[in-house]
């Protein structure tokens, strides 16, 4: 199964990244003050191998200062027949196309190249740039090298001696770059993104916490940042625990709240998982268990609301926060405001009572204003018998659990049409939003019920090492594992099922686990390539989704 990687998991391995190491010789130190390029040298590398070299002198159209000639050995006579920068720059940009630019003291070299491009009217490509001077300053200790000058680093890491000629200095920089990559590899830095973050300036306190990731495995799972007293501060998930946690101590982490969290953290605990789905589920459960102060999402699942059609002599609609085994009908979950909007759409379509009073089998009360307006069948004063009221309730129940087109959609559409005809477009839009709120909750409820009603599903998806297998019971992940290639299939699957968690069924559409967990499992089941080994399951195709798609994108009937 192809799984969409998260932002945290993106990264280009250094071995697969093409670098263009460039060095310039110039007539001075600043292009803004009129200094010109006199030589360009570059080496293209990938995976430790040289792919090509680029070298040319450049005619600066001015005399080279004597002290520059002494420093570089480049004379006016040497450059008089050399191509000018308007010929050299396009050739260099073609050579460096698709590469990460590398230079020692990169702002100097890229500054001259960008300035030349601007003067020539050439659009400067959006090169990613790596500075070996900055990288050496971060990776090497003071007792290893007294400074990070190219000559000093080349004396330690290269057989090439820099001589202030562009190609020679570029070759020396290549050796320095490779030596620094080896040093970073021992620290677990293996992608270009990690190298870039490593060179970023971070506070000493933040960098000092980097050791918290040293013991973490390079494996998928969940990580928990904890205080010294064990309190969980933050829970996250990644395909590489070590790599992800290391990123919290670099410039890659820019969230101010995470900076506060890192300052408090004293240890990181890993929970290694067999599959990405297991890691996602465990993260949700741990957030629900610990309610970490620095996690924003999934912290308050108990704030969800459900719409309930009560089970009593004269049923009514109610908004509740729990699904009980009381014979009532439920759909959801909703946010509270969405639940209120959905109930308004249902009350527009069905004339069930809206009062909260408990009625006996033969109520004797005065009718309310809704009854006088014809919006309630008025069981309170005996205006309707139990059979007729029961028929209305049954139509409402059918709309909750099946196709809402016959009643809810039609009634609300009629109201929207009337309001639009009267040019009350804002009111029509409000009813459109109420209908959409109901349809969203109805679709969510139908999807959840399709899985929570299944006592056991065993499903498999292709994995790079074989197959990933999940056991799902009543919408809750009960077991996960990787069936390696060459392993006897059925004995392994039977063992996984036997060791799976025992799950007690919940009520109605409410899953036995967290709603977000069941929805994550549903998304996994709907991925291409997933196969059912045991059990039956199908994603519901009622017309709720069809209506919802239309109301979320089509507003033409509102004349806006």
Would you please indicate which residues are annotated as catalytic (active-site) residues? 164
Return the closest-CA partner of residue 286 out of 84, 295, 540: 295
Nearest to 225 by CA among 278, 261, 271: 261
First to last CA, the chain: 43
Strands (E), 383-494: 457-463, 466-473, 476-484
What DSSP string runs through 412-430? HHHHHHHHHHTT-HHHHHH
State how far the Cα of 345 lies from the Cα of 434, in Å rounded to an integer.
6
The contacts of residue 187 (CB under 8 Å, 6+ apart) are: none
Q: Cα–Cα distance between 441 and 343 in angstroms, integer?
A: 11
Strands across the sheet with 476-484, in order? 476-484, 466-473, 457-463, 531-534
Q: Are strands 100-103 and 129-131 parallel, antiparallel or unpaired?
A: parallel
Token pair listed for 552:
């979320």
**8 Å CB contact between 217 and 242:** yes
Find the largest Cα–Cα distance for the chain. 113
Using CA atoms, how far apart are residues 447 and 540, in angstroms rounded to an integer?
Answer: 6
Contact 42, 22 (CB under 8 A): yes
Ordered alpha helix ranges (H), 291-335: none
Q: Under a CB-based contact definition with an 8 Å cutoff, are residues 268 and 212 in contact? A: yes
Residues sharing a CB contact under 8 Å with residue 169, sequence separation 6 or more, in sequence order: 23, 41, 104, 150, 162, 163
Asked if 448 and 519 touch (Cβ cutoff 8 Å), the reply is yes
Residues 6+ apart with CB under 8 A from 369: none
Q: Is 331:402 a contact under the CB 8 Å cutoff? A: no
CA dist list (Å): 88 to 85, 125, 192: 5, 16, 28
Neighbours of 206 (CB within 10 A): 17
DSSP 8-state class, residue 514: -
The answer to whether 326 and 311 are in contact (CB under 8 A) is yes
d(CA 270, CA 239): 12
* Cβ contacts of 282 within 8 Å, gap of 6 or more: 221, 222, 237, 271, 273
């Amino acid at each position: 199964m192809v799984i969409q990687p998260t932002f945290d998991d993106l990264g280009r391995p250094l071995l697969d990244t093409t670098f263009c190491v460039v060095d310039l010789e110039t007539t001075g130190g600043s292009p803004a003050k009129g200094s010109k390029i006199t030589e360009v040298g570059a080496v293209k590398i990938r995976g430790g191998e040289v792919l090509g070299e680029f070298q040319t002198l450049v005619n600066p159209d001015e005399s080279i200062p004597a002290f520059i000639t002494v420093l570089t050995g480049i004379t006016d006579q040497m450059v008089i027949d050399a191509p000018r920068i308007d010929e050299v720059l396009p050739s260099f940009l073609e050579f460096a196309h698709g590469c990460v630019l590398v230079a020692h003291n990169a702002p100097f070299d890229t500054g001259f190249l960008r300035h030349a491009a601007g003067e020539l009217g050439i659009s400067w490509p959006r090169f990613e740039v790596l500075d070996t001077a900055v990288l050496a300053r971060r990776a090497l200790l003071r007792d290893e090298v007294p400074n990070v000058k190219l000559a000093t680093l080349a004396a330690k890491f290269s057989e090439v001696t820099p001589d202030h000629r562009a190609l020679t200095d570029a070759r020396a920089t290549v050796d320095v770059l490779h030596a620094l990559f080896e040093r970073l590899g021992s620290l677990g830095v293996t992608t270009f993104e990690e190298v870039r973050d490593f060179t970023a300036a971070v506070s000493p306190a933040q960098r000092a916490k980097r050791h918290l990731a040293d013991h973490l495995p390079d494996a998928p799972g969940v990580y928990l940042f904890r205080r010294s007293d064990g309190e969980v501060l933050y829970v996250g998930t990644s395909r590489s625990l070590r790599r992800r946690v290391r990123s919290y101590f670099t410039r890659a982490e820019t969230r101010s709240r995470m900076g506060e969290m890192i300052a408090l953290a004293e240890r990181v605990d890993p929970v290694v998982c067999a599959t990405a789905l297991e890691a996602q589920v465990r993260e949700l459960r741990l957030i629900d268990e610990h309610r970490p102060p620095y996690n924003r999402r999934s912290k308050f699942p108990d704030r969800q609301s459900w719409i309930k059609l009560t089970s009593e002599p004269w049923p009514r609609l109610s908004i509740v926060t729990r699904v009980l085994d009381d014979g009532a009908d439920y759909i959801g979950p909703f946010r509270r405001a969405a639940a209120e909007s959905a109930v308004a759409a249902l009350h527009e379509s069905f004339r069930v009572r809206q009062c909260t009073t408990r009625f006996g089998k033969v109520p004797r009360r005065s009718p309310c204003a809704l009854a006088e307006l014809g919006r309630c069948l008025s069981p309170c004063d005996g205006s309707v018998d139990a059979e007729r009221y029961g028929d209305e309730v049954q139509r409402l129940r059918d709309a909750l659990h099946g196709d809402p087109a016959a009643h809810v959609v039609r009634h609300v559409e009629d109201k929207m049409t009337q309001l639009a005809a009267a040019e009350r477009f804002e009111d029509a839009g409000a009813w459109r939003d109420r209908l959409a709120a109901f349809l969203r909750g109805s679709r969510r409820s139908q999807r959840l019920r399709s899985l929570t009603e299944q006592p056991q599903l065993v499903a498999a998806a292709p994995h790079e090492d074989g197959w990933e297998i999940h056991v799902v019971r009543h919408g809750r992940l009960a077991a996960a594992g990787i069936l390696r290639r060459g392993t006897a299939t059925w004995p392994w699957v039977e063992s996984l099922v036997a060791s799976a968690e025992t799950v007690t069924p919940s009520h109605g559409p409410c899953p036995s686990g967290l709603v977000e967990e069941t929805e994550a499992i549903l998304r996994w089941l709907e991925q291409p390539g997933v196969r059912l080994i045991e059990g039956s399951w199908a994603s519901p195709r009622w017309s709720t989704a069809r209506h919802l798609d239309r109301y979320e994108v089509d507003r033409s009937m509102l004349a806006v």
